[in-house]
Structure 1
Amino acid sequence: MRGITRDSFAEMIDRKIIFIFGSITLLVIIGVLFTSNISINGFGGDDMKLDDLNQALGNPMMVFFSWFMSFLVFLAVMGTAGLLPSMLVKGRADYYLSKPISRSSLLLNKLLGVWVSYGSMIVVCGLLTYSAIVLVHGGFQFKVVYIFIFSLLSYFCWLAVLFLAGVVSGSQPVSIMSAFIVWVLYKVLSSAKMVQDIISSQFVKTSIDVFYYIIPKNSEFFDISEKLVQGKPVNNWSDFYTTIIVSIILIFGSVYLFKKKNY
């Protein structure tokens, strides 16, 4: 496990992924620091500082931070989409499969190694950015830990999709497309559920429900974390639970297929 995690960290550095994350985080921090001197004309000509506006509008800086964390997860998904296919090419596959470890352990250790290495990068970039926000605007909230937890869980669920696609196809483009297709299907089915009441066909309604709960709904994780941070009730936990369950099923499917394939 530790060896594969070290390999994942080394791959992250060799492929310059860590520098991409660092550069984007630095730009965001600089942007946050510049907002310290922004003031807005309020009613009666009084100037309102941005941190006052932040409190008045219900902490939009926290919403921005949640969006930034979701963007980091997106970058991590794009950055890791080709890791498993590249591991399974001729030559490298022989090297990994020659190790005294079962295929199921190899795949699970690779998944956890990638999750730990790239997840650590997400957390570090998030901590630096949130520290800048607190430094400039104040208002530290311990509940921000929810955003970190759900970001890591969202990334883990995306890895389940990527690893299944990687085992089945062995192709980096297909792995990337699989994540995009899952995201598009989620958006389409979410829109369909919003208009479900005006659909007359019971078969169509049932089909929408079935496919909606099968498709991973990783984007909902950030909505849930925002509500938890703001102290608002989460009315629907089913999207979270079903996504976790489906992701576990996808991982077991990946392990099963990986044990059956010839390399």
Structure 2
Amino acid sequence: MKLLSKIFAYTALTFRESLAKKTFVVFFLLSTINHIFFLLALDVDVVDGAFAMVQIFGEDLRTNKAIDLQEMIIVIESFIAVFFGFCGGIFFSIFATASLVPSMLEKGNIEVLISKPLSRAQLFIGRYLGAQSIMVLNIIYLIGGSWLILSIKTGVWYFAYLYAIPMVIVSFVFMYSLMAFVGLVSRSTGVTIMIAYSAILFSAVFTPNKDRFYALLSKKIYYFLESIYHVLPKTYDMGFITFSLVGGKPFDGWTALWTSAIAATVMLAVSIGIFSKKDF
């Protein structure tokens, strides 16, 4: 119990540090701008359970017939869940948390931290959980708020949209294991951000084109890329699962989730090991 209370105390300290640096506040403001966008941009008229008219910024989306309400809600919210919720949530979360490990290692700061009655493993885990707490609150506000606005405007409470919340949270847990490792090794916020976005880009390019890479590249290069794919967070796959869950569509299973979980756990354990032995 004392162990958990110590970790929780440092997690809370990390959260307060984020508030002081305004990163949490900026994330909150960006999410609020997103909500204002949906409030102002989307105007829906519903007649007898169907969309009679849909307007975006006052411009009609003209159709030859009324659109089935439930069907249109699923299409709209699947798109929003992936591009605004998943992509936007991961994008903002990277910026909001990238500096947490490098700032912890700054001269003068790290000496104070390691002098506290906490093991280095507890310090690192507390920092890691602090980053997750920042992200979780903002993701719930970003996705939950947009769902509430869309539900009130359309009159349809499509609860499958909320699957995006745990999917984004889990995906960022995997991503932050990589970010924490890079931040520890490089001590650079900029490098941490670049590696995180490079991992997302690699996932987006390699995953849907595996067959093409296999046909075009030599076997050694392909298997090298395949190895990198299994080490890095599988952001593209997680986004596709999110889209499928929200849209009620079938997908190939949870392999991407549990393999990412294993890779993230190993990377976090390695980071804790390095931090525990590092000379400050």
Interval of TM-score (by shorter of Structure 1 and Structure 2): 0.7 to 0.9
Q: In the alignment, what sits opposite 2:270?
A: 253
1:33 to 34, 39, 59: 39
Aligned to 1:81: 98
Residue identity in the other structure for 1:62: S
In structure 2, C-alpha distance between the alignment counterparts of 1:218 and 1:226, rounded to whole Å = 12
Q: How big is the shift at 1:53? A: 6.7
State whether residues 102 and 184 of structure 2, in contact with CA within 8 Å, keep that contact through their aligned partners in structure 1: yes
Kept after mapping to 1: 8 A contact 2:199/2:232:
yes
**Count of matched residue pairs:** 258
Matched, 1:100 2:117: yes
1:59 to 75, 79, 90: 75
Q: After the TM superposition, which of the residue ranges 236-245 and 145-154 deviates more from structure 2?
A: 236-245
Alignment of 1:234-245 (within 5 A): 234-245=251-262
Tell me what 2:175 maps to: 158
| 1:11 maps to 2:17 | yes
> For the Cα contact (< 8 Å) 1:73–1:155, is it kept in 2?
yes
Could you tell me how far 1:191 is from its partner in structure 2?
Answer: 5.3
2-side partners of 1:28 and 1:184: how far apart?
A: 24
Amino acid across the alignment from 1:63:
F
- Counterpart amino acid of residue 61 in structure 2: I
Q: Judging changes above 3 Å, is the alpha-carbon distance between structure 1 residues 195 and 262 closer, same or farther for their aligned structure 2 residues?
A: same
Q: Counterparts in 2 of 1:71-220, with a 5 A limit?
A: 71-190=88-207, 192-196=209-213, 198-199=215-216, 201-220=218-237
| Larger displacement relative to structure 2 (206-215 or 79-88) | 206-215
Q: Which moved more, 1:202-211 or 1:141-150?
A: 202-211
Equivalent residue in structure 2 for 1:68, among 69, 72, 84: 84
Deviation at 1:140, TM superposition (A): 1.6
- Alpha-carbon distance in structure 1 between the residues aligned to 2:240 and 2:185: 31
Superposition deviation, residue 147 in structure 1: 0.8
Alpha-carbon distance in 1 for matches of 2:217, 2:188: 41
Deviations 1:217-237 (A, max 9, x none): 123212102212222112143
Return the alpha-carbon distance in structure 2 between the equivalents of residues 203 and 56 of structure 1: 46
Moved more, 119-128 or 247-256: 119-128
Q: Tell me, what secondary structure is at the counterpart of 1:41?
A: coil
State the secondary structure of the residue aligned to 1:36.
strand
Question: How far does the alpha carbon of each residue in 1:193-246 deviate from its partner, in whole angstroms, 9 at most, with x for none?
Answer: 141453474444433433322222123212102212222112143222221111
Aligned match of 1:42: 63
Question: What is the aligned partner in structure 2 of residue 23 from structure 1?
Answer: 29
Given that residues 193 and 208 in structure 1 are in contact (C-alpha distance below 8 angstroms), is that contact kept between their aligned partners in structure 2?
no
| Offset at residue 258 of structure 1 (A) | 0.4
Quick check: 1:213–1:242 contact (8 Å CA) kept in 2? yes
Q: 1:61/1:103 Cα in 2 relative to 1: closer, same or farther (>3 Å)?
A: same
Give SS of 1:68's match. Answer: helix
- Identity rate, percent: 23
Q: TM-score, normalization: structure 1?
A: 0.88
Judged with a 3 Å threshold, the aligned counterparts in structure 2 of structure 1 residues 59 and 188 are, in CA distance, closer, same or farther, namely closer
Q: In terms of mean alpha carbon deviation, does 141-150 or 106-115 score higher?
A: 141-150
Matched residues in 1 for 2:207 and 2:248: separation? Answer: 25
Structure 2 CA distance for aligned equivalents of residues 173 and 31 of structure 1? 30
Structure 2 gaps of 5+ residues are: 1-6, 45-54
State the one-letter code of the partner of 1:118: M
Instruction: Name the SS of the counterpart of 2:43 in structure 1.
Output: helix
What's the Cα RMSD here? Answer: 2.3
